[in-house]
Amino acid sequence: MEEFDHQKKQGDVQIGQFKVGLAVGIFITLFVVCVAYLGVQIQQTVENAGQESQQVNAGGQEGSLGETAADKIDKLVYMIEHYYYQDNVNREDLEEGIYQGLMQAVGDPYTNYFTADEFDAFMEQATGAYYGIGAYVAQDLDRNYPKVNSPMPGSPAEEAGMRADDIIYEVDGVSTYGMDLDKVVSLIKGEEGTTVKITLYRKGEYLDVEVQRRQVEIPTVEQEMLEDDMAYIRINEFDEVTPGQFKTALEASRDSGMKGLVLDLRGNPGGSVNAVVDIARMLLPEGLVVYTEDKYGKREEYTCDGSNEFKLPLVVLVDGNSASASELLSGAIQDYGKGILVGTTTFGKGIVQQMLTLRDGSAIKITISSYFTPKGRNIHKIGIEPDVACPFDSEAYYTSGFDNQLEKAREVLREMME
């Protein structure tokens, strides 16, 4: 992987790192104040991107940081308010920084705090439509910056020339170093017709692009018929509408005389466990789809009765941006030998998050368990190796539109159909 050049805007990055450090430093203490003042009762209301519903009570003493920490928080707040050289310090901002820092101190990039507004924005996007630029984003863990997983077809992001693996360096001049993905999305989204300036880092160069926001209808599933009675279905992400859209695409392919299927999961960042399991039940034989285990060893299994098992030749396209739920599906297909995986090694996210809300409308997204493929593989930080390796030729794709991975998938599928 190429070295990432920080020199252009190093000062901004250092400021961003300082702010994160400050938040983490003062945050652990102030969390107790929140527990003491608010008597927090945590209730889970939604799980998306591997989230499920249940209620959790966090109002008891277990988990409290104690009076010493609360007293230290009070002292730190007093020092900031009386000695910090500017008068623009807002107590509410300090509190929000403490909550964010507490989650960051866990050391898990998928465990995060959301303000009430950020949580509303997160839920809005999960329902299938929002005002933004139309790009799936992921975390580049090596660089600690967000990156473009893939622009949506026909979206403002695609029209502006954004590409998969572009590093999102700044949004309207704000450094995104170390920033949670959902917060990056909240910066990018805005009122319809307004413009957002995004600084990208691509192959040693910084690129400034201005993208006009508009309503984005999230196309979670795309379908078309290729030559030789091959069907092509692409799943862009797994949310609540995806199983219905996939079923429609599968039926349309069958009605068109499908004799083999290319299932494209490239650039798919994941989504709801329930959604991907519903889709797996349209493809897999009877048996285990996936199981999860939490830190107490509690195991939860998701199974398939095999009544809708896919009986035609199947090829699955994957790449380094295929993550989480897309790895769950491709891993199960590989374990059962239901299809051949073509492409490059997947991202390697084998953990499950849950969304928990607080009474004031804020929320946390927290990693609660690991998931395992039917054969017991945990692919976290490892990924899934394809059966047929085929690196993506980006130069050919962006200059002439030739998709070498798709052509390889068609070649493999054609052999399976003979």
From the candidates 166, 180, 319, 335, give the one annotated as an active-site residue.
335
From the candidates 147, 183, 349, 365, give the one annotated as an active-site residue.
349
Assess whether 229 carries a catalytic annotation.
Answer: no
Contact 163, 156 (CB under 8 A): no
For residue 321, how many other CB atoms are within 10 A of its CB? 22
Dihedral sign, Cα of residue 341, residue 345, residue 348, residue 354: negative
From the candidates 175, 186, 322, 324, give the one annotated as an active-site residue.
324
Strand-pairing partners, residue 151, are 135
Collapsing DSSP states into helix, strand and coil, what is residue 177? coil
| Burial per residue of 118-145, b for 16 or more beta-carbon CB atoms within 10 angstroms, e otherwise | bbebbbebbebebebbbbbbbbbeebbb
Contact 217, 229 (CB under 8 A): no
Cα dist. 417→129, 228, 338, 387, 403 in Å? 38, 10, 14, 17, 21
- Backbone phi and psi for residue 209, each to the nearest 5 degrees, phi listed first: -125, 140
What are the start-end ranges of the H helices in 292-380? 325-336
Q: Which residues contact 242 (CB under 8 A, 6 or more apart)?
A: 220, 221, 235, 271, 272, 275, 279
Which candidate, 314, 316, 320, places its Cα nearest to that of 394?
320
Contact 348, 110 (CB under 8 A): no
Assess whether 307 carries a catalytic annotation.
Answer: no
Cα dist. 261→85, 102, 190, 304 in Å? 64, 46, 38, 20
Assess whether 335 carries a catalytic annotation.
Answer: yes
Greatest Cα pair distance, the chain, in angstroms, is 78
Cα dist. 163→137, 276, 397 in Å? 11, 26, 11
Contact 176, 109 (CB under 8 A): no
Q: How far apart are CA 43 and CA 46, in angstroms?
A: 9
Q: How far apart are CA 236 and CA 345, in angstroms?
A: 18
The residues carrying an active-site annotation are: 324, 335, 349
